[in-house]
Amino acid sequence: MSTLVIVGAQWGDEAKGKIVDVLGSQARIVVRYSGGNNAGHTVIVGQERFTFHLIPSGILHKDTVSILGGGMVICPKGLIEELQRTRSMRSELGAMMISAAAHVVFPYHRLLDQLEEEARGHNKIGTTSRGIGPAYQDKVARIGIRMGELVRPERFETRFREVLTVKNRLLQMFGHPPLEFEALFSEFSGYADQLREFVTDTEPVLQDAIQRGERVLFEGAQGTFLDLDQGTYPFVTSSYPTAGGACIGSGIGPRAIDSVLGVCKAYTTRVGSGPFCTELDNEIGQQIRDQGNEYGTTTGRGRRCGWLDLVALRQSCRINSLSGLVVTRLDVLRNIPELQVCTGYRLNGSVINHLPSDIDDLAAVEPVYETLQGWEEDLQSCRSLEDLPRSTRIYLDFIEHYTKTPTAILSIGPEREETIVLRRDLIWSH
């Protein structure tokens, strides 16, 4: 058995795409287990830049099978465009399978996402407007349409007619005109024709591969604190990006997981609304945004940037049972003379070391900082721990010591080569 889950250990955008690409080349199967095209994973290979929103980054490896798991919500048009774009850049791609249990995102989900956000006014979540929340709402309400149904013409017609009637009533309550059945049915039947060959029951495929001892990589999307239950609710996404979500969203049991790596930036970012106690709404925040090109892959929004929050990271290590950390974007912290890291939260006169579950308490916490020395050197040419400046190594030691979690991999630039593997034993069991 050799199964590895890669999760975002913060609020998403931790550069998981690059890490999944690097490790995906060593895996037989890469599975995306949650979310939809709210995610944006970037992979840079030489002069080429690939952006994936739905397809697992493993598709770039011709001997790797990429699975879109049952925990996902899929926009068929987005998926077809992504596939065409990737094919136009690469003639040889790995095989792809779509779980018949994954749910379909329809235009009414997108519309409702926008209408619900407008209705929230000042309390808006700052969603990606991709219809993700409303698609998961339908799944939980048991009126969602699955990929397996989309590709069965008669079944799809019956289900779509029934659901669209309900959704049109809802749209009209928001003052939006109803959507027309015929045009949408024909559009989505066209998508079904293009995707039918990929849709199957993926759970047995995975179980067989695991039984045979093949390497399977579970690719998380978003991040731990955007998890519907473990995140900063209500400023979260509607799925389970945490390691537990890998089981729910792909159909494996918890004992089938050998290793879990948590990808974290050397600082913190988040997009959308919600408390962020180490946020730097100042020149240093802007410096990090500029040096790290911290603009969303999916929405283009400038990301909120701040100091590394070790309280959150340690909690993430616990929630995900992390075997090891992957610390990314170390290179971005260059030329900041002093770096601060948050080691506690002050709340109502005491210092706590966990994220309070109440959102108002979380918004009220004040960070307790330790100050560490920064570095001026360009890290991108470093290829081993010894190549790193002393202050960078001290920064990394501090993270390991505080989180009590070893660092398995360092990323010091966007290219595949700009990766330093420190602990191979934490990645694959064989």
Catalytic residue among 13, 113, 227, 258: 13
Single residue of 32, 130, 215, 329 touching ligand IMP by CB under 6 A: 130
Q: Which residue's Cβ has the minimum distance to ligand IMP?
A: 272
Q: Which of 104, 132, 280, 379 binds ligand IMP (CB under 6 A)?
A: 132
Considering only residues 56, 58, 76, 133, which one is a binding residue for ligand IMP as defined by CB under 6 A? 133
Q: How many residues bind ligand IMP (CB under 6 A)?
A: 20
Strands (E), 56-206: 65-68, 73-74, 96-99, 103-104, 199-200
Q: Quick check: 54 binds ligand IMP (CB under 6 A)?
A: no
* 41 is a catalytic site residue: yes
Please list every residue from 319 through 378 that binds ligand IMP, using CB under 6 A.
Answer: none
Which residues partner with 83 through β-bridges? Answer: none
Considering only residues 80-119, where is the footprint of ligand IMP by CB under 6 A?
none
Q: Is 302 in the site for ligand IMP (CB under 6 A)?
A: no
The verdict on 71 binding ligand IMP (CB under 6 A) reads no
Q: Which is nearer to ligand IMP, 55 or 192 (CB)?
A: 55
Whose tokens are 């209705």? That residue is: 119
Please report how close the Cβ of residue 298 comes to ligand IMP at its closest, in angstroms. 6
Minimum CB separation from ligand IMP for residue 116, in Å? 10
Report how far apart the first and last C-alpha atoms of the chain are (Å, whole number): 8
Count CB atoms within 10 A of the CB of residue 118. Answer: 10
Burial class (CB in 10 A: 0-12, 13-18, 19+), 130: buried
Q: Of 76-84, 232-240, 247-255, 345-353, which segment contacts ligand IMP by CB under 6 A?
A: 232-240
Applying CB under 6 A, among 37, 66, 202, 222 the residue interacting with ligand IMP is 222
Q: How far apart are CA 39 and CA 296, in angstroms?
A: 9
CA–CA gap between residue 407 and residue 400 (Å, rounded): 7
Q: Are strands 73-74 and 96-99 parallel, antiparallel or unpaired?
A: unpaired
- As beta bridge partners, residue 31 has 67, 218
Neighbour-count burial for 102-114, b at 16+ CB within 10 Å, e otherwise: bbbbbebbbbbbe
Question: Is residue 107 within 8 Å of 179, Cβ to Cβ?
Answer: yes
| Residue 166: CB minimum distance to ligand IMP, A | 21
Contact 6, 27 (CB under 8 A): no
Q: Tokens 């930036």 identify what position?
A: 265
Task: Given the residues 21, 41, 53, 103, select the one marked as catalytic.
Answer: 41
- Residue choice 69, 144, 272, 292 for contact with ligand IMP (CB under 6 A): 272
CB of 419 to ligand IMP, least distance (A): 21
The reply to whether 406 sits near ligand IMP by the rule CB under 6 A is: no
Catalytic positions: 13, 41
What is the binding site for ligand IMP (CB under 6 A)?
12-13, 38-40, 125-128, 130, 132-133, 221-222, 226, 235, 237-238, 271-272
